[in-house]
Amino acid sequence: MEKKIYGAKIKEDSSRLDFRTKIKFSQKDIQTIEEYANQIIKEEKNIETFPHPKEKEARYWKLDWYTCACGGTHIENTKYIKNIKVKRKNLGKNGQRINISFDYISLFQEKYYEK
């Protein structure tokens, strides 16, 4: 099975996913992705994180029916994201990049500090 996502970067204010595909994402595809993600954010859904059963360092997160490997962002609920913007970038013959920028992230940082 060929990997479709071959690159990713997650930062506090943005992220990106690089896809290996011969299909060019249309502006309508990008708009649909943005609208769908923002609807999930608006619904304030809980996100469950849990360890891999065999690999101590590996973690997963689950939102509704979707489970994926955790890339290091550990929010407990989609409400902390607020709103995103999605853009597409062509990476050549068989590559597409999805850039995601966050308008505002409201994380409760105090929970990460000792009291």
Protein fold of 5-112 = Threonyl-tRNA Synthetase; Chain A, domain 2 (3.30.980)
pLDDT at residue 56 tops 90: no
Residues 6+ apart with CB under 8 A from 9: 15, 16
Would you kindly state where each structural domain of the chain is located, as residue ranges?
A: 5-112
Highest-confidence range of 1-10, 15-24, 67-76, by mean pLDDT? 15-24
Higher-scoring residue by pLDDT: 14, 28: 28
Q: What is the pLDDT of residue 67?
A: 86
Higher-scoring residue by pLDDT: 93, 36: 36
One-letter amino acid at 93 equals K
Model confidence pLDDT, tens digit, residues 62-93: 999 988 887 666 788 888 888 899 999 998 88
pTM: 0.77
